[in-house]
Structure 1
Amino acid sequence: MELRVFTEPQQGATYDDLLAVAQEAERLGFGAFFRSDHYLHMSGDGLPGSTDAWTTLAGLARETSTIRLGTLMTSATFRHPGVLAIQVAQVDQMSGGRIELGLGAGWFGQEHTAYGIPFPDTRERFERYAEQLDLITRLWTTPVGERFAFDGTHYQLADSPALPKSVQDGGHRGGVPVLVGGLGKKQTPALAAAYADEFNLPFVDEETTAAQFARVRRAAEDIGRDPASLTWSNALVLCVGEDEAAIARRAAVIGREVDELRVNGLAGTPAEVVDKIKRYEALGAQRIYLQTLDLADLDHLRLVAAEVMPHV
């Protein structure tokens, strides 16, 4: 099982806060540092304000050396797919081939209103999302020297040089690895089967994980794809402590209840967390994204690295 650090900087974090976490995660041996892609906080005051995901990752690409970097999830509503393809390929070059693109349809209407970003209805967002997955992966895989055109319902490209190219070319469809996630019963599994290198489930229990993993496996088999070619992952909020007092202290800092976190997250002593991770592993999960909400508490990550990571 690979453990990855996942942050939510829209809740209040500077670039320097994120850099400190990413560098410590790299030193401790976590598999990746990921961040959300949001422009508005969901609780609290969000001070000092949101940072841009791909600007952040560009900086981290130059200030780390081994840890993988990515988004859970970039919203397809935020950027034109041609621009996003360029951004991601460039940051991949800047990192020496350590970038992964988590791409989702977008869901948080308030952040769109706050910054003047169009927010279509659910049907149109998924139409645009599907076109973006196709368009971006094809831009990356168009041979150098050839031209690319795309005539979709929402996006049209003509005579594109399809540059720059990413360093990586090992994704399911070539280029940077792509993550798809979510709980939709039809469109999400179909898109994951067609485009994803990794399928991720955010903040769901074991029963839901088993059911949704099964839907995606069936969708892959329906198009002749081996489900084993996908990586399977979960994201869960992290709250680990050496004893009950430490667990309660960390839960209080992030505004959560210990009992609720034990049910819905990865909370408890290291032994409890190891046991829960192994239950997700038995369902097919190969990676866990540890949602780390208190970015000042680097001892939290040090505890996980020392007392959880060696046992999973």
Structure 2
Amino acid sequence: MELRIFTEPQQGASYDELLAVAHRAEETGFGGFFRSDHYLKMGAVSGEPGPTDAWTTLAGLARDTRRIRLGTLMTAATFRLPGPLAITVAQVDQMSGGRVELGIGTGWYAEEHSAYGIPFPSLGERFDRLAEQLAVITGLWETPPGKTFDFAGTYYQVSESPALPKPVQDPRPPILLGGMGAKRTPRLAARYADEFNLPFASLEDSVAQFGRVRAACAEVGRDPERLCWSNALVLCCGRDDAEVARRAAVIGREPDELRANGLAGTPAEIVDKIGRYAAIGSQRIYLQVHDLADLDHLELVAAEVMPQV
């Protein structure tokens, strides 16, 4: 089981704070540093110091880190056009020496769109646009050097694109898709995903959705074992109940609720729950950390959880 760190900077974080977490994650052996792609804090108006752009952040981290994998859970397809996004991700992949992964989804948070003047179409149209974006992005990256790429979609049209720049990773950076959609999500994952991720899903819901994606793979003749299966869960680890309670209070949650819905408790409790996710086929866990100033939290997990999973 690989453990990665997952942050939510829209809740209030500067680049320097994110860099400190990425550095500590890299130093302590976590496999990746991922961040959300949101422009508005959830649950309040302020969110000081304000949002940081996901791909601007990752470009900086590409130069300020050396080993750790970098990516998004999940870039909103509503935020960017597919051609420019393909260019951005390929450039950041070059800047990182081939360590970037693109998690992408439909976008869901209506309020951030209205707060920053971003169109927010219906869910059906957002899925249609996501499908076309995936076709364009992968098509641009996978077009052989010296060839051009064309695409005639309902929402996006590409004509005689030189399909540059190329990412370092060949044929392209890994693509992460996820979510609990019962029909279109599994079909898109079967066609485009290198990793399928479920955020904040129970064991039972994970089993059901992993099964839907496996069935969709079978329908298109794809081996589901070629996908990586992963979950994202809120982290709240402590050496004892008092430390768990202290960390839970800082992020405004209750220990019992976090034990039920996240990864909370002592290292032994967390190792046990990770083992239950591993038993249903999950191969990677994204540990969502909310208190970015608490770098000792990462140290504890690296020292007492990581060696046992």
TM range (shorter): over 0.9
Counterpart position of 2:195: 198
CA distance in 1 between counterparts of 2:95 and 2:292 reads 25
Using the TM superposition, give the Cα deviation of residue 235 of structure 1 relative to its aligned residue in structure 2, in angstroms: 0.1
Letter in 1 for 2:20: A
Letter in 2 for 1:142: T
Structure 2: segments with no counterpart, 5+ residues: none
Letter in 2 for 1:105: T
CA distance in 2 between counterparts of 1:122 and 1:224 reads 28
Counterpart position of 1:87: 88
Q: Secondary structure at the match of 1:77?
A: helix
1:21-40, aligned counterparts within 5 Å?
Answer: 21-40=21-40
Counterpart position of 2:67: 66
CA distance in 2 between counterparts of 1:190 and 1:225 reads 11
CA distance in 1 between counterparts of 2:149 and 2:266 reads 53
1:51-200, aligned counterparts within 5 Å?
Answer: 51-169=52-170, 174-200=171-197
Letter in 1 for 2:146: G
What TM-score results when the alignment is normalised by the length of structure 2? Answer: 0.99
The C-alpha deviation readout for 1:48-94, integer Å capped at 9, x for no partner, is 00000000000000000000000000000000000000000000000
Percent same amino acid at aligned positions? 71
Using the TM superposition, give the Cα deviation of residue 221 of structure 1 relative to its aligned residue in structure 2, in angstroms: 1.0
Counterpart position of 1:213: 210
Letter in 2 for 1:137: T
Q: Secondary structure at the match of 1:232?
A: strand
CA distance in 1 between counterparts of 2:121 and 2:5 reads 31
Match of 1:256 among 253, 256, 262: 253
Aligned residues: 308
CA distance in 2 between counterparts of 1:148 and 1:133 reads 14
Superposition RMSD in Å? 0.5
2:279 pairs with 1:279? no
CA distance in 1 between counterparts of 2:59 and 2:43 reads 27
CA distance in 2 between counterparts of 1:133 and 1:266 reads 32
Letter in 2 for 1:202: P
Counterpart position of 2:2: 2
Using the TM superposition, give the Cα deviation of residue 159 of structure 1 relative to its aligned residue in structure 2, in angstroms: 1.2
Name whichever of 84-93 and 43-52 sits farther off.
43-52
Q: Secondary structure at the match of 2:79?
A: coil
1:293-308, aligned counterparts within 5 Å?
Answer: 293-308=290-305
Letter in 2 for 1:100: E
Using the TM superposition, give the Cα deviation of residue 43 of structure 1 relative to its aligned residue in structure 2, in angstroms: 2.2
CA distance in 1 between counterparts of 2:47 and 2:270 reads 29
Q: Secondary structure at the match of 1:55?
A: helix
CA distance in 2 between counterparts of 1:100 and 1:287 reads 14
What TM-score results when the alignment is normalised by the length of structure 1? Answer: 0.98
